[in-house]
Amino acid sequence: MDKMINKLKTEAEKNDGVVWVVKNARFAVFCILVAMCFGLEMDEENLERVDQVMKNVLIAVDPRIDDYLPILSPFFSKQRKRVLEVRKEQIEFLVPYIEQRKRAIENPGSDQTATTFSYLDTLFDMKVEGRKSTPSDGELVSLISEFLNGGTDTTATAVEWGMAQLIANPDIQKRLYNEIKSTVGDKKVDEKDVEKMLYLQAVVKEQMRRNPPTFFAPTYAVTEPITLAGYDIPTNANVEVYIPAIGNDPTLWSNPEKFDPERFISGGEDADITGVKEVRMVPFGVGRRICPGLNMATVHIHLMLARMVQEFEWSPYPPGKDVDFSWKMEFTVVMKNPLRAIIKPRV
């Protein structure tokens, strides 16, 4: 968090107070996830190299028409070749970090960059169903890739949409700052403080309802034939749940187009984002197929928004211009025009 705040300050000093939001949020999230994943402290140059490898994977596996019509696959041989090249590069690049972590575990204290625990540690001794061996290097790389790619852009995108709403609604931003000030005083917000901030929790919940970072929940399949809304769905057919249709349904929410965190405090419209109590918003999916990163993502989103509002007053750029909430589909649903803002350090 301190690295993110310092990067924002430096960027603002060089650009008359103007900063790019998602770039800085993404850097912070990626730093956290890399440290959690490998249990190793990396400098910025190595972080950028890992990030580029992960981006290459996402670009290479963009959906193509032959994913849905395999008969056309012979026409996409160049693309398949590129996918295999990217996969080879990914394995060759990440395996040395895996080996470095193994050495750090085997020889405690030998690596000064090593932390006490990592996601990788939980994978080394994992038993693979149907065989006696532990995961291969390729399998470890796949799990690492899933961990980093699944958590980086989704969380950073959520932070960007959240900051966009706080900039567009200065009264909400002011109320949030006042809650932070009254809760922690002059010390930096930490994860435990977030649990005490009801308005911050309402802001994040409303952001997830209004601007979910992905439009579709993890893919589901039915286990037996069923009819839904007049359509026959056969066993094992993929079912895609369109998240915004639920979060912006006027039969479920009053004035759904309005960004109103108060609805979750005194407006009588509380909702469980896991869908356990009732399905009124499902930004992470629901049931056994719910996103496994839910708890980690929500902690990061709360903490990042709190720190950003605690440190700076945020206003639109250019001054006086309304925030553009149009979107486009990438790996996540991002702002069509990436958010730029003017920040002013709090006194």
Q: What b/e readout covers 127-144, taking b as 16+ CB neighbours within 10 angstroms?
A: eeeeeeeebeeeebbebb
Is residue 91 within 8 Å of residue 57, measured between CB atoms? no
37 marked as binding residue: no
Question: CB neighbours of 254 closer than 8 A, spacing ≥ 6?
Answer: 263, 267, 269
**Distances in whole angstroms, Cα of residue 45 to Cα of each of 4, 42, 103:** 16, 8, 22
As a whole number of angstroms, the distance between CA 304 and CA 155 comes to: 10
DSSP string of 246-272, one letter each residue: HHT-TTTSSSTTS--GGGGTTSS----
Residue 87 tokens, joined: 């996969």
Which residues line the annotated binding site for heme?
291
Which residues line the annotated binding site?
291
